Structure 1
Amino acid sequence: MCQKTTLQAVRHVNAVFWRLSYLSTPFSSVINCPQHHRLHHAKNEAYHDCNYGGILIVWDRWFGTFRDFQPGVAPVYGTLTPVLSTNPLKQGIMGWVHLLQKVGKAPGLLNKLKCLWLPPGWTPSKTA
């Protein structure tokens, strides 16, 4: 009996959380809500490279990486470069391989550091 009551309470709290997260409330300006997270997975230019906060969206607001849904711009989900493997280990490592290749091709120490620090689309002018 107690386990059933606990499960009902958890379901109730979960339902309240999801309802609050879809409303424009102070709650959704602090917590990374589903509408914020789905934009993180979009590959559109308007939504690319944004909403990294795992739980707190406030970090993205502070560091300038927050994007909100823009009317008329439907999110397109996926990756910018095609994933050519079905191996999950290879999929996880390929991003790091591409980054290290980009760093290796960059001329000069400053450009190598910029490859690591600046957004993913940035390339040094001599390697572009």
Structure 2
Amino acid sequence: MGEPAVSWQAILSTDPVAIAIPVFVLSIIIELVAVRMGWRGDYDWRDTGTSLAMGLGNTISGALLAGSVTGLALWLWQHRLFDIPVAWWSFALCFLVDDLAYYWIHRAGHRIRWAWAAHVIHHSSQHYNLSTALRQTWTGLFGLTFIIKLPLFFIGFPLELVAFCGGLNLIYQFWIHTEVIGKMPRWFEAVMNTPSHHRVHHGTNPRYLDRNYAGVFIVWDKLFGTFEAERADEPPRYGIIRNLGTFNPLWVAVHEWVGIARDVARARSLKTALVAAFGPPGALSGETADALRAQWQAETAPPASPPPAAVPAE
């Protein structure tokens, strides 16, 4: 007998993120107490307040703007290639494919300045704790990276299934924003994204820049060459290359968009304007992640050994 459709409908009609919010709040309180008792980590009430404000704004903006994306997704699903039913196997497949899409969305959010303007908010804290997970963008729709997920609907995954899997992905990522947890068991670190892996992602150390984009499965980074392990002798420094120096949520939300507008207005050619908007972050100043990493590698490379002295002929 097949699985009862009503059970899946009941499950997919729920919002897993909304259900998880009390757990988020309780976890933050527990982590805060642990840090105050001497566990590794750091909290600043001003920074945490900004993160909570960003999370609230993200919820409001998402509710206001989600309709346009839903409409486009529904249109694509109506022209779908396959009729994918809702079942345990399609749920597992959707969760896997959705996480792969997230990897590329996240990678684009770091490599394209237009998308970075929406994503940089999440990296703007110089602290790393569970409240940082709630520091989310107010302008995610304008970053346009949602386009990467649209093929899932064209393939035939139902909208409610994709939304549910995306919610679970978001919930998973909450717990990896902490310094309280060190390394997980080796087998877990090999496959899954962990606090250790994600601390690297939030690090501004040249070694760590633009690494570990994974949502749930770290295997994507290992497969596509963007993995970097956390080193005990090099703790991550958190924030962005040029930290904001303010806890004003409005400026946190829009500062990079303002920067793009200024750089485009100053551009003296169409090429420069396009680089300012759609090139890698830091392209105009020469401070891209690749450039900073290359400079660091050149400065830390061991000196070349002198060539052996020539032996005189007898």
Give the shorter-chain TM-score range: 0.5 to 0.7
When normalised by structure 2's length, the TM-score is 0.28
* Correspondence for 2:141: none
More helix by share: 2
* Correspondence for 2:239: 78
- Greater relative contact order, per chain length (Cα 8 Å cut-off, separation 6+): 2
Of residues 229, 249, 273, the one that matches 1:68 is 229
Q: 1:43·1:75 contact (CA, 8 Å) conserved in 2?
A: yes
* Correspondence for 1:49: 210
Identity %: 35
| Cα distance between partner residues in 2 of 1:63 and 1:104 | 36
Change in 2 beyond 3 A, CA 1:122/1:89: same
When normalised by structure 1's length, the TM-score is 0.59
| Cα distance between partner residues in 2 of 1:117 and 1:51 | 20
Of residues 32, 40, 43, the one that matches 2:201 is 40
Moved beyond 6 Å, runs of 4+: none
Please give the per-residue CA displacement for 1:44-91, whole angstroms capped at 9, x wherever unaligned.
111112222222323333443322123532212222212133222320
Q: Which amino acid aligns with 1:66?
A: F
| Cα distance between partner residues in 2 of 1:107 and 1:98 | 16
Change in 2 beyond 3 A, CA 1:82/1:22: same
Change in 2 beyond 3 A, CA 1:53/1:123: same
In structure 1, the gaps of 5 or more residues are: 1-17
In structure 2, the gaps of 5 or more residues are: 1-175, 287-314
| Cα distance between partner residues in 2 of 1:104 and 1:65 | 34
Q: 1:111·1:124 contact (CA, 8 Å) conserved in 2?
A: no
| Cα distance between partner residues in 1 of 2:222 and 2:264 | 28
Q: Which amino acid aligns with 1:45?
A: P
| Cα distance between partner residues in 1 of 2:204 and 2:233 | 15
- Alpha-carbon distance, 1:117 to partner: 4.3
C-alpha RMSD over aligned residues? 3.1
SS at match of 1:47: coil
| Cα distance between partner residues in 2 of 1:101 and 1:62 | 37
* Correspondence for 2:41: none
SS at match of 1:45: coil
| 2:185 maps to 1:23 | yes
